[in-house]
Structure 1
Amino acid sequence: MSAYNLNESYDSYRTVDLEARAAAASPYELVLVLFDGLLDELARARGHIEGKRYQQKGQSLEKCLNILGGLNGALDYENGGELVQGLARLYDYCIYRLSDVSVSLSLEGLDEVVGLLGVLRDGWEGVNATRK
């Protein structure tokens, strides 16, 4: 079996897994599912950059940008106050950095975004744990 077929099989498995997790998730858990998918795709983008698979890198980063756009679009600007404004700025910054990474292939820029989003993901996990 070729590496392409293995990647295709993994993509199919991951899609089904994410769909199943999303279907059973509360709104807080859904955000965690999105963060998990985003961080997983960022790791894949890193592997594509390192392996000089630039077409796949572009596809991975496009998925990441779409997820970030979805997270940004779901923010409640009317009721969220300063917290929502801060999250919006952070999401916008991550989108900007990933757009730069797509051209510059900067692993440092990618790692910066992974670090920021990892901290946010941990925060959401804490919020979800206190709501149970």
Structure 2
Amino acid sequence: MFGSAQQGANAYANIGIETGVAAATPHRLVIMLYEGAMVAIAQAIAHMKAGNIPAKGQAISKAVMIIESGLRASLDKKAGQEIAQSLDSLYEYMGNRLLLANLRNQPEILEEVHRLLTELKTAWDQIGDSVNAKLPEPAKVATSPYDGVKQRSNPYASA
């Protein structure tokens, strides 16, 4: 009637992810894409080693989709020039390697792409630290409708 606890947990996780995406900066979104691809590849490695071919294929497909439709599609080749072109070539290489790993059942190819993504994510993390250090402090957001409202003294309060 109500579904399983797993379905509820999955729905709750999806809401958390959607909320995180909606509140994320463009820089944070790129990091989230790297993290998602890395998790999918780690799952693919585990499924490959366990012999779970359908789950391996799904995990690799998810990683390819994140790289192609997320990371690669978001590149601004005009603004990014050589760096964007190099990343585009690297993402294409990763997608091809993932497909090859799936066809040949070779976890070492998956591990190679995982390492590449880890290196790129580390670079983005470092860029984020320097960018965030230069950003002005965010304005205080009211957490209550009464935040910022001047309180009157209570004439009935005991002194």
State whether TM-score is above 0.5: yes
- Report the structure, 1 or 2, having the larger helix content: 1
Q: What TM-score range do you get, normalising by the shorter chain?
A: 0.7 to 0.9
- Alpha-carbon deviation of 1:83? 0.4
- Alpha-carbon deviation of 1:15? 3.2
* Alignment partners' CA distance in 2, 1:124 and 1:102: 28
Q: Runs of 4+ in structure 1 displaced over 4 angstroms?
A: 5-14
> How high is the TM-score relative to the length of structure 2?
0.74
Which residue of the partner structure matches residue 47 of structure 2?
48
Residue-by-residue CA offset, 1:42-61 (whole Å, 9 max, x unaligned): 11111110111110111111
Contact 1:18/1:33 (<8 A) preserved: no
Please state whether the residue corresponding to 1:82 is helix, strand or coil.
helix
Amino acid at match of 2:130: T
> How high is the TM-score relative to the length of structure 1?
0.88
- The runs of 5 or more residues in structure 2 that have no matched partner are 133-159
* Alignment partners' CA distance in 2, 1:9 and 1:103: 35
Aligned residues: 128
Q: Which has the higher contact order (CA 8 A, sep 6+)?
A: 1
Which residue of the partner structure matches residue 112 of structure 1?
112
* Alignment partners' CA distance in 1, 2:51 and 2:8: 21
Amino acid at match of 1:53: N
- Alpha-carbon deviation of 1:24? 1.3
* Alignment partners' CA distance in 2, 1:99 and 1:63: 11
Contact 1:97/1:110 (<8 A) preserved: yes
* Alignment partners' CA distance in 2, 1:107 and 1:116: 14
* Alignment partners' CA distance in 1, 2:7 and 2:45: 18
Residue-by-residue CA offset, 1:91-114 (whole Å, 9 max, x unaligned): 001001000011111111011000
* Alignment partners' CA distance in 2, 1:10 and 1:109: 32
Larger-gyration structure (1/2): 2
- The runs of 5 or more residues in structure 1 that have no matched partner are none
Amino acid at match of 2:73: G
Q: What are the residue-to-residue correspondences of 1:2-41 with 2, within 5 Å?
A: 12=11, 14-41=13-40
Provide closer, same or farther for how the CA distance between residues 82 and 21 of structure 1 changes in structure 2, counting only shifts above 3 A. same
Please state whether the residue corresponding to 2:79 is helix, strand or coil.
coil
Amino acid at match of 1:102: N
* Alignment partners' CA distance in 1, 2:51 and 2:93: 25
Identity %: 30
Provide closer, same or farther for how the CA distance between residues 123 and 51 of structure 1 changes in structure 2, counting only shifts above 3 A. same
